[in-house]
Structure 1
């Protein structure tokens, strides 16, 4: 059954939502964690959807945060240089094309270089408006990034719909007062208002008032 979702703007996470970067994220983070003796399952339960320095702070709570900031810079550099296995989520190209005439933006925990590297490898066009790690002081699950995206688009948060896959991202969107379309199997556990297996299940339909999202 198709659900019709009304919105004035769309905010899109990147990793796990527009691009599948799971292989490289898990490869690099498990390599980082090994010398610290951190259980791999614990690492993978933390790192998705957050900025790297926040993940490090959760995994190594007693470590000086300045070390996390420095190591996160190295992690971002490594991630931007390693795009092996990064591919587009099915339907991402069509969704971005459908949104082109309408207000939309990426809101990602990646920095600009990493965003461009992964979107480029996936052969996806980066929207004109983006909110990246450089634009916020607090990482998801804090709502700052999504609220910044709504501000840039000039749209009330309640009129924005967010596409997200991670628990941290869905929590951030809800804290911003936004509705969520969860993408992928892992999103279901975090109570998005709507859910799709991939983006082939979403269509952008123009209306006299703007657009609708047909989900399902």
Structure 2
């Protein structure tokens, strides 16, 4: 059975949606967790989808915010340098190719350096418009990044479809007033409008002044 959605823009998360960086993300964050005596499961249910400084603030609420910012910069530098094992999510390259010439953007909690490193490691092209950590004041689950992307593209949020894998990202897309397609095994628990295991089930077909997204 095929589900068809009408859209005028697609907004794509990166980690867990276009690239699989789970191994390196979890390894570095668990090293950080051990230094602070934090439980593994608590850390792993917090860090996905958020900017690192916000995850640190949630996990260490009494710690000075500036320490979180400084430590997050060191974490980002390590993540940008350590890309072994980062690969494309199945169907990601084909989806990005299909979206060429259509309004779309990456909306990621990564900074420019990390986005560039991971998309390069996965051999995926970077979109012309990318909303990275430097461009927002509030991290997912706040909808700021998605709303900024819609505004930059000149598309009403209601006409945007978001691809996201994490709880924070799915909430951000929903709160932005957009239709969210959850990607990956954990996405259904965060109640996206639709779900796919990976991007091989997605096809894009031009239609009217926008396009159709078909979920097979």
**TM tier, smaller:** over 0.9
Q: Is the 8 A contact 2:6 2:210 kept in 1?
A: no
Distance in 1 between residues matched to 2:159 and 2:106, nearest whole Å: 16
Runs of at least 4 residues of structure 1 off by over 3 A? none
Alignment of 1:69 with 2:69, yes or no, is: yes
Residues 6-155 of structure 1 correspond to what in structure 2 (within 5 A)? Answer: 6-155=6-155
Structure 1 position 208, deviation (Å): 3.3
Structure 1 position 207, deviation (Å): 2.0
Q: Is the 8 A contact 2:9 2:210 kept in 1?
A: no
Task: State the Cα deviation string for residues 42-90 of structure 1 (Å, max 9, x = none).
Answer: 1100000000000000110110011000000000000000001100000
Distance in 2 between residues matched to 1:181 and 1:79, nearest whole Å: 26
Structure 1 position 35, deviation (Å): 1.2
Distance in 2 between residues matched to 1:165 and 1:18, nearest whole Å: 10
Structure 1 position 209, deviation (Å): 2.6
Distance in 2 between residues matched to 1:208 and 1:133, nearest whole Å: 34
3-state SS in 2 of match to 1:101: coil
3-state SS in 1 of match to 2:126: coil
Structure-2-length-normalised TM-score: 0.99
Distance in 2 between residues matched to 1:214 and 1:165, nearest whole Å: 18
Q: Which residue of 1 aligns with 2:190?
A: 190
Task: State the Cα deviation string for residues 168-191 of structure 1 (Å, max 9, x = none).
Answer: 000001111111000001000011
3-state SS in 2 of match to 1:185: coil
3-state SS in 1 of match to 2:213: strand
Distance in 2 between residues matched to 1:215 and 1:193, nearest whole Å: 12
Distance in 2 between residues matched to 1:38 and 1:128, nearest whole Å: 39
Q: Is the 8 A contact 2:13 2:107 kept in 1?
A: yes
* Structure 1 stretches lacking a partner, 5+ long: none
Aligned residues: 216
Distance in 1 between residues matched to 2:45 and 2:208, nearest whole Å: 43
* Aligned Cα root-mean-square deviation (Å): 0.6
* Structure 2 stretches lacking a partner, 5+ long: none
